[in-house]
Structure 1
Amino acid sequence: MEDNIFQLQYALDTFYFLICGALVMWMAAGFAMLEAGLVRAKNTTEILLKNVALYAVSCTMYMICGYMIMYGGDLFLSNITGDGVAGAEEAATYAPSADFFFQVVFVATAMSIVSGAVAERMKLWAFLAFAVVMTGFIYPMEGSWTWGGNAVFGMYTLGDLGFSDFAGSGIVHMAGAAAALAGVILLGARKGKYGPQGQINAIPGANLPLATLGTFILWMGWFGFNGGSVLATASVESANSVAVVFMNTNAAAAGGLIAALLVAKIMFGKADLTMALNGALAGLVAITAEPSTPTALQSTLFGGIGGALVVFSIVTLDKLKIDDPVGAISVHGVVGLLGLLLVPLTNDGSSFSGQLIGAVTIFGWVFVTSLIVWGVLKAVMGIRVSEEEEYEGVDLAECGMEAYPEFTTK
């Protein structure tokens, strides 16, 4: 009887884990649609190719070496198909291969953050070369210090210092933003973005319906992102925890959108759709570090703080001439840090000092290593297309085809 109960629980938890992983995988479509909507028409094909290709690269590199680096083990195949999952205390409650699948879609999410920030002027193959290193080494290393439970360079364990990141505000989102920031700094701004007298020129996206669809897809996928991080659902306790996480995730997104919309109206005098979309995503990032302990009202407020902050951050980065076409660095980096710092307000197992040390460790590692990799790529193969190619659009220069050929004028 007990064996039958265990098998049923094992099957339910594994199934739940896989479904949540599939929801997170669907976020790849969300990022693709969001970014395709926020870039100019002449750069749409390349940004779509980047998103689908980075997903494939992420899955392959994490299988080859990333999962082993993050969770240990002798060979990657034994970690994926063996009887247990190295580094995961919950290994007995779900299939090891389910854990790999759930983890690999998180890696792809982190890399997806980079693609939007460097859009419209980066070489496709330089981007994919960076994706190999990011998903195969940079992300797995910081993941081993956090979710993997290993000491940072053999010195200290972040968990022992009071660091907690439930689903990855810092581990996934801030890490992706740190890699993006390093790339943007070396890449430079798009031509025409900043004028000679310091003026900031708006470069509108080509398809706001697509951007809105992408945001809704990401909003939906986030239920798997946060909900799956409960790691189980086949008991009363875990089922209740999943329900709370879903409720709080949704509340934070709503709070973020409302706050961003109101702040944008006050600052610009208009209802700014792109700020509203980024506000919803900011709310989701803010709650990701700890969606299981706040109340629904607290989650709404946390999301609202993130939504308001992202508007100010996007404006500030523009003033600093850090050109981020989709606002990814602000949404995932600045608000990712906010999410980490909000955790101790509702989770007694964390501390502000532990969260700060963890944030500095993650950001420092990813930013410095990414800067080195981007620098090597810049020296070896170049990372930016020519001025002429940028003018005509990277779709033709990099892919030889256009997303909207019927609208092209010759």
Structure 2
Amino acid sequence: MLRKTFVLAAASALLTLALPALGLAQEEAPPGNRELSLALDTVWVLVAAVLVLFMQAGFAMLEVGFSRMKNVGSVVAKILANLAIAAVLFWAVGFAVAFGTGNALFGTQGWFLAVPEGAVDEVYAGLAWTQVPLSAKFLFQVAFCAVSLAIVWGTMLERTKFAVYLVFAVVFAGIIYPMVGHWVWGGGWLTELGMQDFAGSTVVHLSGAMAALAGTLLLGPRLGKYDDEGRPVTIPGHNMPLAVLGVLILWIGWYGFNPGSTMAATPQIADIALTTTLAAACGVLGAMAMSYLYRRHVDVGMAGNGAIAALVAITAPCAFVAPWASAIIGFVAGVIMYATLLFVDRIGVDDPLGAIAAHGMGGVWGTLSAGLFTTPELAAVGRPGLLYGGGLYQLGVQALGILAAGGFVFLASLLVFAALKATIGLRVKPEQELNGLDVSEHGVYGYAGFPEHLIATDHPVNGNGGGAPRNAPAEGAA
């Protein structure tokens, strides 16, 4: 008993002596807490940037899966080249155009990330709201640019010259994409109007899809895609498991895309991850339902595209809407994607990956949905949505942003692709397309030992579907 009393007395005395020191430690805690908070924010942004960069692997697997065996090597070559070009051009020019201090249309400061000491917020006013280091800001944003560029090529698979990818990537990563980014995120005119696009339904996905549409219209369909009467012919991809693996990688990468756009390690990232997950899941269900109603079976490729369309759609409102709304947004996105894909196919636009439907219409619906479902409590920018009594203003701003950004990207891309068509040509020769781009563009098969005798013919094993060069565009010989 005496020993317990002595121990308690000694502990009390030590605690009393320590109180001044503890009080001093509490007074000095705020600076330390700020440093710790900044470190955590920086780590989170870098992790998110890596997740978004990992989406390039998702695009690679998705495109490989939906391509024929004779073209898979060209897909991965294009992915690597465009990621490299996007990184260099966005560092040199694009980041300054998007986030540099300037005017309502584009930034005019911060080329090559050259900033006087202590002047980061003045030079890059568009990102002054986040205090992570400039290098972290750049790495996160360049990953977004690379994703938008990757979307462009999903519609132009299996018939495009490799040089076209390289030239267009320079213009897109250096000028076209950054200008839209400045309008919405960098302090431009849509920023001032209060447009809600938290992680890029319009800036990233609609931009990529509209550039893709411009290129595809000038490029023309793959050989054998349409019969003599103009009816679409199915050209199946060669590996659906790889395509679904690509979808799952993209889904995982989206947890960097959406929650990472907080650019801070806050509790909100969990809420954004929740809305992202619910939307994606319901997008799969929406696409499956449409597939069953239309064809009486569940199309695996359509289900995967349903997930992507829903993820695209929730990207704009993910931080502004309640979970129940995200489920509706995702399901509707899956339905819209399916209907759009059928429509696009029937009007003669050959989109092997479904990028126009998933990223284009998914981006349109997602951007508009912010104007419908944004809650008053979560409206960090702009106003509450129409369903919460916010009126038509926010919905109108969202629609204006879609028209302005989509129209600008389409016209600018159309000019670039038209110039390329008139000079180097967009499309490989018909015999090169039939033999496969792996050989004609890169001199090696994507799969070692691929049977050469099947490539040079219209054999159904290699997925040509019996197609012949009778419907090749005139530019095919360029």
Q: TM-score range by the shorter chain?
A: over 0.9
Q: Could you tell me which of 80, 84, 103 is aligned with 2:120?
A: 84
How far apart, in 2, do the equivalents of 1:168 and 1:79 lie? Answer: 26
2:66 paired with 1:43 = no
Q: 1:94 to 1:325 in 2, by over 3 A?
A: same
Partner in structure 2 of residue 196 of structure 1: 228
Q: How far off its partner does 1:80 sit?
A: 10
Aligned to 2:175: 137
Asked whether 1:213 is paired with 2:259, we answer no
1:64-86: CA deviation from partner (whole Å, max 9, x where unpaired): 11011111224323259865241
Q: Distance in 2 between matches of 1:383 and 1:81?
A: 45
Task: Give matches, 1:217-366, under 5 Å.
Answer: 217-233=249-265, 238-239=266-267, 241-347=268-374, 348=376, 349-350=382-383, 351-366=394-409
Q: CA deviation at 1:90?
A: 4.4
Cα distance between partner residues in 1 of 2:246 and 2:127: 35
Q: Separation in 2 of the partners of 1:190 and 1:80?
A: 51
Matched residue SS, 1:158: helix
In 1, distance between residues paired with 2:368 and 2:406?
Answer: 14
How far 1:149 sits from its partner (Å)? 1.1
2:213 is aligned with what amino acid? L
Match 1:9 to one of 31, 37, 40: 37
Q: For each residue in 1:315-374, what CA deviation from the matched residue of structure 2 results, as whole angstroms up to 9, or x when unmatched?
A: 000011100000001100011000010002232524111001111110111000000000
Q: Does the 8 A contact of 1:84 with 1:91 survive in 2?
A: no
How many Å apart are 1:88 and its aligned residue?
Answer: 3.6
Which residue of 2 is the match for residue 382 of structure 1? Answer: 425
The offset of 1:297, in angstroms, is 2.1
Instruction: State the Cα RMSD in Å.
Output: 1.4
- Tell whether the 8 Å contact from 1:169 to 1:289 is kept in structure 2 after alignment: yes
Residue 329 to residue 3, structure 1, CA distance change in 2 (3 Å): same
Gap regions ≥5 residues in structure 1: 151-156
Say whether the 8 Å CA contact 2:58–2:250 is kept in structure 1: yes
Structure 2 CA distance, aligned partners of 1:92 and 1:280?
Answer: 30
Q: Percent identity?
A: 40
Residue identity matched to 1:75: W
TM-score when normalising by structure 2 = 0.81
**Contact 1:14-1:98 at 8 Å conserved across structures:** yes
Q: What does 1:51-200 correspond to in 2, within 5 Å?
A: 51-72=79-100, 73-79=109-115, 84-85=120-121, 86-90=124-128, 93-150=131-188, 157-200=189-232
Give the deviation of 1:393 after TM superposition: 0.5
**Residues 1-58 of structure 1, C-alpha deviation per residue, up to 9 Å, x if partnerless?**
2211111111000110000000000000000000000011111000111111111110
Q: Give the match's secondary structure for 1:205.
A: coil
| Conserved 8 A contact 1:79-1:96 | no
Largest Rg, 1 or 2? 2
Q: Over residues 353-400 of structure 1, what are the superposed CA-to-partner deviations in whole Å (9 max), with x where a residue is unaligned?
A: 100111111011100000000001111100100000000011100011
Distance 1:54 1:82, change over 3 A: farther
Structure 1 residues 381 and 162: alpha-carbon distance in aligned structure 2, compared to 1, 3 A threshold: same
Q: 2:106 — aligned with what?
A: none
Q: What is the one-letter code of the residue matched to 2:280? A: A
For 1:386 and 1:316, locate their aligned partners in 2 and report how far apart those are by CA, in whole Å.
Answer: 28
8 Å CA contact 1:127, 1:383 repeated in 2: no
- Contact kept, 8 Å, 1:110 with 1:172, in 2: the verdict is yes
Q: Is the 8 A contact 1:265 1:271 kept in 2?
A: yes
Instruction: Please say if residues 9 and 93 of structure 1, whose CA atoms lie closer than 8 Å, have aligned partners that are also in contact.
Output: no
Aligned length: 399
TM-score using structure 1 length:
0.95
Question: Which amino acid is 2:140 matched to?
Answer: F
Q: How far off is 1:100 after superposition? A: 0.3
Residues 1:188 and 1:248: Cα distance change in structure 2 (over 3 Å): same
Structure 1 92/195 Cα, relative in aligned 2: closer, same or farther at 3 Å? closer
Amino acid at match of 1:388: E
* Secondary structure in structure 1 of the residue aligned to 2:114: helix
Q: 2:447 aligns with which of 396, 404, 407?
A: 404
Q: Which amino acid aligns with 1:59?
A: A
Kindly indicate whether the alpha-carbon contact (under 8 Å) linking 1:47 and 1:115 is maintained by their aligned counterparts in 2. no
